[in-house]
């Protein structure tokens, strides 16, 4: 029970921090704060025929010469996957994300033996849930961390994305170390 409780707390903590930071960014936007509705319904001036205009910053707050807070809607996925599906893409993304979260939850609660596995899977699941909440609420994900250097610009991301990346890196690192130790 103790193992189960702390992983649930970690998942919920990631979701809470992700949604809290996205809420702050929404509130900081000059357009205002909204709790529900599709992104195009909420911010019609940033949409074109129901499609979110890519790169339409609803907030741009420079912090340093290489970092700023922004508010951008991300209706797609990494590497523009599922773009060819057109209007059915959001539903496909939500369903696939739910299936992946279910699979990872099974791995977390039924198969993960090592602490690094439980931490890594909890971070990945928490991040996936944070972005899934956005997709269900807004039909897009809120991204707000924007790093750039001169002409080089990294795509904006959020706390959920950070948790997923750290979780995947931790999982792969732990797997590599364990595999090497068994030789």
Give 145-176 pLDDT, tens digit per residue: 999 998 888 888 999 999 999 999 999 999 89
- Statement: residue 18 has pLDDT above 70: yes
Q: What is the pLDDT of residue 54?
A: 47
| CB neighbours of residue 70 within 10 Å | 19
**pLDDT band, very low/low/confident/very high, at 60 (cuts 50, 70, 90):** confident
User: Are 7 and 108 spatial neighbours (Cβ–Cβ below 8 Å)?
Assistant: yes
CA-only gyration radius of the chain, Å = 18
Residues labelled catalytic: 143, 161
CA 31/CA 23 separation, integer angstroms: 13
CA distances 120 to 52, 54, 109, 151, Å, are: 32, 31, 13, 34
- Encode pLDDT of 82-108 as tens digits: 666 667 777 888 999 999 999 999 999
- Encode pLDDT of 23-56 as tens digits: 888 888 766 555 555 555 655 555 554 545 444 5
Report phi then psi at 94, rounded to 5. -60, -45
Specify the residue for token string 């807070």.
Answer: 69
CA 161/CA 128 separation, integer angstroms: 8
CA 178/CA 64 separation, integer angstroms: 40
Q: Which two tokens stand for residue 135?
A: 């997709």
CA 163/CA 60 separation, integer angstroms: 23
Q: Which two tokens stand for residue 74?
A: 């991300």
The closest alpha carbon to 138, from 46, 68, 67, 64, belongs to 46
């Amino acid at each position: 029970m103790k193992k189960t409780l702390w992983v649930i707390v970690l998942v919920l903590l990631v979701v809470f921090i992700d949604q809290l930071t996205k809420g702050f960014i929404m509130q900081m936007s000059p357009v205002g704060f909204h709790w529900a509705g599709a992104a195009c319904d909420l911010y019609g001036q940033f949409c074109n025929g129901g499609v979110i205009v890519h790169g339409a910053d609803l907030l741009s707050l420079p912090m340093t010469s290489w970092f700023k807070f922004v508010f951008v809607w991300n209706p797609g996925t990494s590497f523009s996957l599922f773009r060819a599906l057109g209007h059915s893409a959001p539903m496909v993304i939500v369903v696939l994300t739910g299936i992946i979260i279910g699979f990872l939850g099974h791995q977390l609660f039924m198969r993960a033996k090592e602490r690094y596995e439980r931490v890594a899977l909890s971070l990945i699941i928490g991040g996936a849930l944070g972005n899934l909440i956005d997709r269900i609420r807004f039909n897009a994900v809120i991204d707000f961390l924007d790093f750039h250097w001169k002409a080089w610009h990294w795509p904006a991301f959020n706390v959920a994305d950070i948790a997923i990346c750290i979780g995947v890196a931790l999982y792969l690192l732990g797997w590599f170390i364990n595999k090497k130790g068994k030789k």
